[in-house]
Structure 1
Amino acid sequence: MTRIEVTTAIAAPVQRVFEVSLEVEIHTASMAGSGERAIGGVTSGRMKLGDTVTWQARHFGLRWRMTSLISACDPPGYFVDEQVAGPFKRWHHAHYFASGGNGGTLMRDVIDFAAPLGPLGTVAELTVLNRYLPRLIRIRNDHVKAAAEAGPAS
């Protein structure tokens, strides 16, 4: 299993960043490069504890589907999304939000994941996914940052 951590400073209040991070439309806009869209469960608006969403996207030239569940949520401090069906052997993504001073927020993503296929999956983690996934998270976080800094919560 592999762990990825990404921290992003955002010039917006913690509550605002937390809420924006749960918006389906923000996520799909951030992943436009892979054509990601919500095709099942919650397909628009703000997700909450117990919600599931099925995402479909194209990565590495292949179409992927992943259904995730908001399995933990303590506004505005954190929420967790976990894969309940999809390509990973394990996917656990914790999103943490804390004051960054001056009214801003430090958003920290902690992702624990494992690729399927045993030793072959481990090779994929080490050679491809350890670089690819942090880049995707940074792209997503840039969109969250832009949306949160653009205006007040809806």
Structure 2
Amino acid sequence: METEIVLHISINAPIQVVFDCARSIDIHQLSTAKTNEKAIAGRTSGLCELGDEITWRAKHFGFYQTLSSRITKLKAPYYFQDCMLKGAFSFIKHDHFFEEKDGVTLMKDVFAYGVPYGICGKLFNKIILEKYMTAFLTERNRVVKEVAEKEVHSA
């Protein structure tokens, strides 16, 4: 069973600034401070590029976990996709879309994932995980917006 989370956010910054903030490992780590998420292998800082692999370590639900992903598609500054290679999910596919209108960038996330463990996994997803992942991604997007808008206003 697949779950899909779709989020939209308007950011008062040019598309290239938002695109770069969204693929910044450093900004991602800033947005995930509550889970102590760190890039520990592959590309560990800077901007993700096509083909890059990143291994993350973070504490979720009281346990440290690792997840490896790869940037599988990239069309600057409009789109990139990252997919899980290894981790606790059965799969993750995260599409990031960017569109600029009148100096405002619309960022859209489409985060699709599957959970293992049969009916127990499905139940955990419906009761806890889907809300948790939505909040996790919403916080990430809030930080991307904050950093991108600050970057534009300080320039």
After TM superposition, the score normalised by the length of structure 2 is 0.95
- CA distance in 2 between counterparts of 1:28 and 1:15 reads 20
Task: Give the stretch that moved more between structures: 115-124 or 88-97.
Answer: 115-124
Q: SS of the residue aligned with 1:18?
A: helix
Q: SS of the residue aligned with 1:136?
A: helix
- CA distance in 2 between counterparts of 1:141 and 1:121 reads 26
Instruction: Report the alpha carbon displacement of residue 8 of structure 1 after superposing the two structures with TM.
Output: 0.8
Q: SS of the residue aligned with 1:2?
A: strand
Question: Which structure 2 residues correspond to residues 46-85 of structure 1 after superposition, within 5 A?
Answer: 46-85=47-86
Instruction: Report the alpha carbon displacement of residue 120 of structure 1 after superposing the two structures with TM.
Output: 1.3
Superposed CA RMSD: 0.8
Is contact 1:114-1:125 (8 Å) kept?
Answer: no
Q: Give the structure 1 partner of residue 21 of structure 2.
A: 20
After TM superposition, the score normalised by the length of structure 1 is 0.95
Is contact 1:50-1:71 (8 Å) kept?
Answer: yes
- CA distance in 2 between counterparts of 1:143 and 1:150 reads 10
What runs of 5+ residues in structure 1 fail to find an aligned partner? none
Percent sequence identity is: 37
Is contact 1:3-1:111 (8 Å) kept?
Answer: yes
Q: Partner amino acid for 1:52?
A: E
Is contact 1:42-1:52 (8 Å) kept?
Answer: yes
Q: Give the structure 1 partner of residue 92 of structure 2.
A: 91
- CA distance in 2 between counterparts of 1:43 and 1:32 reads 15
Q: SS of the residue aligned with 2:116?
A: coil
Instruction: Report the alpha carbon displacement of residue 102 of structure 1 after superposing the two structures with TM.
Output: 2.6
- CA distance in 2 between counterparts of 1:79 and 1:62 reads 29
What runs of 5+ residues in structure 2 fail to find an aligned partner? none
Q: Give the structure 2 partner of residue 124 of structure 1.
A: 124
Q: Give the structure 2 partner of residue 34 of structure 1.
A: 35
Instruction: Report the alpha carbon displacement of residue 88 of structure 1 after superposing the two structures with TM.
Output: 0.4
Structure 1 outlier segments of 4+, above 2 Å? none
